[in-house]
A and B are shown apart, each in its own frame.
Chain A
């Protein structure tokens, strides 16, 4: 069965802390994505990656960075967390090298609270 896992379901951090959100997929997918989900705003793309060591900015990359050292793992980094980064973070992967194939498989999400 297809699986995308995220390191934490709930996370509480303080303003200014460095935060790592980890995502692992076991489907050998090329594409991986990080979204945040906020009430009334739907899912907004932060960063995505088409291959190892490749990354591209989505709609809202400010305040975030990513790392993809291995194909199965895509990390989202908040260099200095702020309260406006309190949100649900969703990781996804898809099986193609092209974004034309938009059948994405999502993890369960990490609800991050920044105090």
Chain B
């Protein structure tokens, strides 16, 4: 069964914009897409949530195409403190709905 997939890891230099994409082909019709950040030895922390098009807050932007089968988290001008694992969370529908986290993307910021 198709799940929620993300790149395993990404590297970026400080000051650059980073885009992390999550693929979720079987997303449920009425549910939101949510992204979390996790530092070592901590639980995940909510970053941003959206349903369609674009959402922006003080931390990140979230881009969602019309078909909603993917979403892209955009972090502007990253710093060393953005080194973390990033997860998307969606509700998938394979006949019954299931809340599903992506496998996570380990982002490393290089000075």
Q: Are A42 and B101 in contact (CB under 8 A)?
A: yes
Q: Mark B24-47, 1 if CB is under 8 A from A, else 0.
A: 000000111010100001111110
For the complex, is B63 an interface residue (Cβ under 8 Å from A)? no
B32 partner residues in chain A, CB cutoff 8 A: 100-102
Interface size on B, residues (CB 8 A): 23
For the complex, is B89 an interface residue (Cβ under 8 Å from A)? yes
Chain B facing A: main interface SS: strand
For the complex, is B98 an interface residue (Cβ under 8 Å from A)? yes
Q: Are B46 and A103 in contact (CB under 8 A)?
A: yes
Q: Are B43 and A92 in contact (CB under 8 A)?
A: yes
Q: Are A102 and B34 in contact (CB under 8 A)?
A: yes
- The total of Cβ contacts below 8 Å across the A-B interface reads 62
Q: Are B31 and A100 in contact (CB under 8 A)?
A: yes
Q: Chain B interface: which of A13-21, A76-84, A105-113?
A: A105-113
Q: Are B43 and A44 in contact (CB under 8 A)?
A: no
Q: Are A103 and B34 in contact (CB under 8 A)?
A: yes
Q: Are A109 and B98 in contact (CB under 8 A)?
A: no
Q: In angstroms, how far is the closest chain A Cβ from the Cβ of B109? A: 21
Q: CA A58 – CA B30 in complex, angstroms? A: 19
Q: In angstroms, how far is the closest chain A Cβ from the Cβ of B32? A: 6
Q: Are A42 and B43 in contact (CB under 8 A)?
A: no
Q: CA A91 – CA B99 in complex, angstroms? A: 15
Q: Are B103 and A104 in contact (CB under 8 A)?
A: no
Q: Mark A45-56, 1 if CB is under 8 A from B, else 0.
A: 100100000000
Q: CA A76 – CA B102 in complex, angstroms? A: 23
A48 partner residues in chain B, CB cutoff 8 A: 99
Q: Mark B42-58, 1 if CB is under 8 A from A, else 0.
A: 11111001000000000
Q: Are A100 and B103 in contact (CB under 8 A)?
A: no
Q: In angstroms, how far is the closest chain B Cβ from the Cβ of A76? A: 15
Interface residues of A (CB under 8 A from B): 4, 33, 35, 40-45, 48, 58-59, 90, 92, 99-109
10 other A-B residue contacts (CB within 8 Å) besides A100-B31, A102-B31: A35-B101, A40-B103, A42-B87, A43-B101, A45-B100, A100-B30, A102-B89, A106-B45, A107-B43, A109-B43
